[in-house]
Structure 1
Amino acid sequence: MADWGPVFVAVVLFVLLSPGLLVQIPGKNRMAEFGTLHTSGASILVHSIIYFALISIFLLAVQVHMYIGS
């Protein structure tokens, strides 16, 4: 049986934390902009740091595991 927990967590966080998709921190005109579909170098850096922190928490501290199949 394969452990699909890390794969699922990584894909969901990657989609949700893509800069400009749901939120862009920092935005071009404000601190946070929602649904702009724009990005910048600073927002890529901030979102990658948030992604690393969240994936570390979910995979190392919470230890998310999912077993699919038989």
Structure 2
Amino acid sequence: MADWGPVLVATILFVLLTPGLLFQLPGHNNRVADFGNMRTSGASIIVHAVIYFAVITIFLIAIGVHVYAG
């Protein structure tokens, strides 16, 4: 049996937390957030990477998401 939980969580979070796709922190032109602008900056990449690391750690280690297939 393969545990697909970490793969699914990582893929979904990667898509949702891509800077500029749904939202971007910090935004362009001195805004706190932009939504759906499809632009990115170095600061937003760092912020989204930290958010991604924190959320994936919570899901995989603290909650322990497991999806078994096969």
Interval containing the TM-score (normalised by the shorter chain):
over 0.9
**Shift in Å at residue 34 of structure 1?**
0.1
Matched residue pairs, number?
A: 69
1:1-70 map, 5 Å = 1-29=1-29, 30-69=31-70
Structure 1 outlier segments of 4+, above 2 Å: none
TM-score, length of structure 1 as denominator length: 0.96
The CA RMSD measured in Å over matched residues stands at: 0.5
TM-score, length of structure 2 as denominator length: 0.96
- Give the gaps of 5 or more residues in structure 1: none
Structure 1: distance between partners of 2:45 and 2:13: 14
| Identity in percent | 68
